[in-house]
Structure 1
Amino acid sequence: MINCYVIGELSTVESLCAYISNYPVTELRGYSVHIPEHFDPVYHIRPDIVFIDSSLSAGNESWVDRIRQFSSVVLIAGDTHQAFEAFEYLAFDYMIKPVSLNRFVKCINKFELITQLAGSILASRKPEAMESFFIKTDSKGFKEVLIKCDQLIYIQALQNYVVLHMENDRRFSCHNSMKEMEDNLSGSSFSRIHKSFIINDSKITSIEGNTVTLNHAEEHKLLIGNTYRKAFFDKKNERMIKKVKQPNLLSFSRPASLVFCLGFLFGDILDASELLTFLLT
């Protein structure tokens, strides 16, 4: 879902909130009809897109710049002569008031396309997952053992050394810190879930509450620490099969519901205001 926030005049807020709430891939996270006195609500939400009315942005470049640090900005201009302001604010896109449904959809499609392209570029630069690594298993460092990642279940911190729990009940210990293990395994399929545990994500059998079970074994049931809980569940949620929000196009309490539906049918022929005029005559 694309999280959205709207800041603008009442008419702009009403139309955009309706579009956002009823479009399948967008979710309305909040709105304001005046310049925010403080940024705590927007900052904590960190929406993907913040729609800003140019009537409020004029002369207030500083707070627009601050929002742009954590969200993409779409400027809502009064006419085409104000469109250049979008470039001044380094906005992602701009739209002319009154915003039609078709123009809103084009903006969202553009955002999705650019986001996908950016994700593909980052994925292409992501280092390959580590398949194996060496550890020194004696205090003098004479003996080195090759650890294959697909056989490593989890790593446990014990006093001044760590224990690597392997499949087939094998264990190896080395005089490394958990921080060293975590740093060297970053970017691979391992997650720090506790100050004492780093697990192999591919060995997860189930997650229940604050515990995770590995390799179908009760003896490998580990606690998820509060410090690492959010990062772990955020990573897990990226692999969760999610339900698609179904739009309820007839949820408006005003004739806007019919306008919204007909906007899809008529395309660029009529915008929302023209359709409303057509229906009332």
Structure 2
Amino acid sequence: MTILKCIAVDDEPLALKLVETFIEQTPFLELACSCDNAVEAMGLIREKQPDLVFLDINMPNLTGMELARLLQEQSGPIPKIVFTTAYNHYAIEGYRVNAVDYLLKPFSYEEFLRAANKVLQLSEESSNHFQSVTADDEFIFLKVEYQWVRISLKDILYIESLKDYVKVHLEDSQKALLSLISLKALEEKLPSSKFMRIHRSFIVSLDKINAISKNSIFINKTEITVGEQYKEAFKIIVDKWLK
């Protein structure tokens, strides 16, 4: 059984206790820790690397929504987020930071379990929708719709994130392949000698880069900006090329 490691964050003691109780009575959830503010949560997320965070939105100093935005910008593993809040006007903002679900207080265990199951399904689909590859492998299998598709690594131009999906752009193909897997999960399985994440939404094939400008790379006629947090690592690669 897949076990999801969780962190609960809420500045209201009773609300926090309720989420802790719900986590503990759910067989596929494991409570790693809990805290009452988003600033502490940021450090705990880096330390514990949870799969899922149940995150209150309205908290002092740093809100849950602000924490979610910060997590989207980091280069490490990004946990799934389920927001918990007493206010119903944050749903659109939650979607923008890739929240899996949105629980409106007071919520029942049935509602909580429905949200947790949604995260579990995404996690299991991600782990089952690809085959790991090494630097010596020449292809990867991705599940596209209802079939496994063999994709040659040398045919991949770049990979684009679309929330919980990736779009794989291929050489000599006008139609990209869409697969239900996160960009982060796929990044961890691709050989780093051939592929590099240069933006929160893009992984590129290093062999397919045919031009470099100050802040962008070009693959054929497609320009992709190098994200601020990826510039230093990418500069190391470029310096090796230019020696």
Range into which the TM-score falls when normalised by the shorter chain: 0.3 to 0.5
> TM-score, normalization: structure 2?
0.47
